[in-house]
Amino acid sequence: MAIRLNRYTPMPPGQFPYQQEGAKPHYFKGDCDIISQAMKVSDYRKANDLPRSKYEEALEDIDLYTCQRLGGHTRWCHDDDRPFATAQPVAANKTKAKGCSTCGHHHE
């Protein structure tokens, strides 16, 4: 069973720092949302030819790291035995298009 974040917003205390272990250790400050952090970690891993360099893998690692850092507190985390791809919470969509200024209708 894995521990996972309940959601990505609001951000948990300390936001989403991440410590890359192994041959090329690196500390990523928690000064951004989890999506941006996953992109940074993924890019770092790719640039250094490290495993788990796909964006989804970095996101999963940050998710787990954050729950471990928070001690699995139930306000932020829950146990989940589903594969990460089907269990991950939905991140806030920051690029959602605004609707029509008159009626609010969204155009695709």
> What 3-state DSSP class applies to 89?
coil
pLDDT by residue for the chain (108 residues), tens only, comes to 689 999 999 999 999 999 999 988 999 999 999 999 999 999 999 999 999 999 999 999 999 999 999 999 999 999 987 777 665 665 544 433 344 544 444 443
Domain definitions of the chain by residue range: 2-87
Give the pTM.
Answer: 0.77
